[in-house]
A and B are shown apart, each in its own frame.
Chain A
Amino acid sequence: MTQLLYILAFVVMAIGLWGILSRRHLIRMIIGFSILDTGIHILLVAIGYRKGGTAPILDEALSKGEALMNAVDPVPSALVLTAIVIGLAVTALMLSFAVRMVQNNPTMNADEHKELKW
């Protein structure tokens, strides 16, 4: 199961990367980027996942000692939350920049946005 998650994460990341590298359309590149992010999030979650583990809520059902043994690691989940927020912010900014780019140079083709080079 964990292996499967890892594979899924990497496949998703690869798709995202492929999207960034192969699509000329700005929006599709951003989508690729989002997919890449998602892949990373899956990976993070997968790292924290423990097969058959319980939720990491320390209460009567789960003592401190048991938590270390049985509970799913809560830290990656916390990290994922942060990462998702950040990814969202970046994606939003990217989209807004893309809009401004297209306003200056009305094409969605990334190849046409090469005023800056060399």
Chain B
Amino acid sequence: MTEFNELSRQFQISDLKEQRADLHFFHASKEHAVAVLTSLKEKYGYTHLVFFTVVDHLEKNEFHLTYMLHNYEKHHDMGVVVKIARENVQMESIHHLWPAAATYQQEIREMYGVEFPGSPGLYENFALEGWEDIPPMRRDFDTKEYSDKTYYPRPGRESHDPREYMKENLYPGEAETW
């Protein structure tokens, strides 16, 4: 992976992983991530920001910010993963590279609470209006508990494992044949 090799001379990047022939991931440090992305865009032709998302690794107590870029000439995708700690999480904005990133950042701020200082419209409502609790997509947010507390669950509702339920009620006696 020439790009990785060249970039690694300048920046703190590591863990190159080939998912497919046309899809690679590597990790970048929080400090160098934007520089790496800039190089990828300006120098190596990864001009398209396919998506930008966050994975909450609660166990490791870190977020994995994943920038997925695409190179139209090589038909190659490059995922840049940035690990950041979950406390007071903040990341540099990349809206100056891709204006569309502002929307991703707005959504991530709302759903995960990751701050992107300077990103336009960061605090405007995205999908939620007036959310007051901790960001709902964080894994330490208990959505069932929240729903029970907030949305008046109808009493008498039963939940079943579909597999077990179907075995017992719909096809009694045939279970062994499965």
Q: Are A and B in contact, CB atoms below 8 Å, in the complex?
A: no
Give me the interface of B with A, judged by CB distance under 8 Å.
none
Give me the interface of A with B, judged by CB distance under 8 Å.
none
